[in-house]
Amino acid sequence: MKKGRGKVGTVAVVAHRKKSLGGGLDELRRLVADQGVEDLLWYEVPKSKKAPKQVRKALKEGADLVLVWGGDGMVQRCVDVLAGSGTPVGIIPAGTANMFARNLGIPEDLPEAVRIAFHGEDRRLDLGRVNGEHFAVMAGIGFDAEMIKDADRGLKDRMGRAAYFWTGLRHVRGELVTTKIKVDGTPWFEGEASCVLFGNVGTITGGIEAFDDARPDDGWLEVGVTTASGPIQWARTLGRMSVSRSDSSPFVRMTRARKVTVKLGRPMSYELDGGAKGTVSKLTAEVVPGGLILRAPEPVASGREGEPAAEGETAANGRRAGDRSADGVPAGKNR
Ligand SMILES: [Mg+2]
């Protein structure tokens, strides 16, 4: 899929009606029309929960490209259906956080996001899957999901993610629960934990770089467990994550896996890409290698701001490249 391809066949737009970017959906339609689309399928939904049905419709109609308009919740719902379909997806980051788009170098700029969706490069990316449902950015069980549930009660839109994340510290206890984690069939953690996280990309909720070495195309899922409890330990953990490597925190243990099983002493909330999903006491997380075809920005040789710094790298900020160990030692260290 190169620049200058001629007519584009069937393009489906799946849009969260309440999300906005640039001149809104009217401008999106004009920009898409400018691309010489033969058939335009246009689906608007009032909430991301309604998106999967429309994506299935789009695939049935033979869409050659699916454009998703919305934030991470919308992307998650859509990629869950698109996984393994072979149909490329273009992301128009119209949400509050847009962590997936940001990690992949898709800017919050409507004309540019549309340009990338039509003329970018098809990249095969991994997805994660928790209890059968795909995610693109991260999944979490415990503290992290409790806070998102809180935020879903309206805080998120008023305050933005970073703010609610920190505000959350004040009223979520980060309660410890007996947790058993197996990594690729081998017992890896057994003890009291407040949160288990799975990462497909490096930067997560609130702009916190949780998984320093995460790459969405290496066939591995990053796994982290935190034993932090209470506001002070959590503040220390998050503070550490925002200035240095996550695995330097005394309350965090991280590794990398293809398949992880988690058993909890009692049911806890979990979340996928920032959307609360319910309560479980058993959870299976696995990587789905190459599960998604993303229409991504063309790779650039030297990292310009907002563009991938190098092959497979994210460029959320300039710190990242320097943080990586030169020999590429994986994140999973025995601590
Ligand atoms: Mg990976």
Q: How far is the CA of 174 from the centre of ligand 1 (A)?
A: 26
Q: What are phi and psi of 325, to 5 degrees?
A: -70, 140
- Give the span between the Cα atoms of 90 and 107, in whole angstroms: 12
* Residue 207 scores a pLDDT above 70: no
pLDDT over threshold 60, residue 167: no
Task: Please say if the pLDDT value at position 111 is more than 70.
Answer: yes
Residue 317: per-residue pLDDT: 36
Range 119-134 average pLDDT: 97
Rounded distance between C-alpha atoms, residue 31 and residue 23, angstroms: 10
Lowest mean pLDDT among 52-56, 268-272, 301-305: 301-305
Own/partner contacts of 45-48, CB < 8 Å, gap of 24 or more, are 45/14, 45/15, 45/16, 45/17, 46/16, 46/17, 46/18, 47/16, 47/18, 48/16, 48/73, 48/74, 48/76, 48/77, 48/275
Winning range, highest mean pLDDT, from 227-241, 290-304, 317-331: 290-304
Distance 323 CA to ligand 1 centre (A): 17
So what's the pLDDT on residue 77?
98
d(CA 57, CA 70): 18
What is the CA(114)–ligand 1 centre distance, in A?
A: 26
Q: What is the share, in percent, of the chain residues with pLDDT greater than 70?
A: 72
The alpha carbon of 154 and the centre of ligand 1 are apart by a number of angstroms equal to 32
Q: What is the pLDDT of residue 323?
A: 36
Whether residue 313 is predicted with pLDDT greater than 60 in this model: the reply is no
> Between residues 248 and 197, which one has the greater pLDDT?
197
Which tens digits make up the pLDDT trace of 182-203? 999 999 999 999 889 899 987 6
CA 265–ligand 1 middle distance (angstroms) = 28
Strand, helix or coil for residue 278: strand
- Cβ atoms within 10 Å, residue 44: 15
The CA angle 200-86-74, to the nearest 5 degrees, is 50
Higher pLDDT, 8 or 47: 47
Q: Measured in angstroms, how far is the CA atom of residue 290 from the centroid of ligand 1?
A: 10
Please, what is the average pLDDT of the chain? 81
Q: Taking 70 as the threshold, does the pLDDT of residue 160 lie above it? A: no
At 173 the pLDDT is 60
110-113, long-range: CB within 8 Å, 24+ apart, which pairs? 110/21, 110/22, 110/23, 110/27, 110/28, 110/31, 111/22, 111/31, 113/21
Compute, in angstroms, the gap from residue 201 CA to the centroid of ligand 1. 7
**How far apart are the CA of 324 and the centre of ligand 1, in A?**
15
Cβ density class 273-288: b for 16+ within 10 Å, e for less: bbbbbeebeebebbbb
pLDDT tens profile 64-101: 999 999 999 999 999 999 999 999 999 999 998 898 99
Centroid of chain to Cα 193: 23
pLDDT tens digits, one per residue of 12-33: 999 999 999 999 999 999 999 9
Sorted by sequence, the CB contacts under 8 Å of residue 52 that are 6+ apart come out as 77, 78, 80, 81
Ligand 1 center from residue 112 Cα (angstroms): 26
Whole-number Å distance, alpha carbon 214 to ligand 1 midpoint, is 5
Q: What is the pLDDT of residue 204?
A: 61
CA distances from 196 to 41, 98, 142, 216, 281 (A): 39, 22, 7, 19, 12
Q: Which amino acid is at 282?
A: K
In our burial notation (b when 16+ CB lie closer than 10 A, e otherwise), range 292-309 reads: bbbbbbeeeeebeeebbb
pLDDT bucket at 229, cuts 50 / 70 / 90: confident
Spell out the domains of the chain, with CATH numbers in brackets.
Answer: 8-119 (3.40.50.10330), 133-289 (2.60.200.40)
Q: Ligand 1 centroid vs 202 CA: distance in angstroms? A: 9
CA of 22 to the centre of ligand 1 (A): 32
> Is this model's pTM higher than 0.85 or not?
no
* pLDDT level of residue 237 (50, 70, 90 thresholds): confident
Distance 105 CA to ligand 1 centre (A): 17
Task: Please report how many Cα atoms fall inside a 13 Å half-sphere around the Cα of residue 150, on the Cβ side.
Answer: 19
State pLDDT tens for residues 251-272: 788 899 999 999 999 999 899 9
Q: Give the Å distance between the CA of 303 and the centre of ligand 1.
A: 21
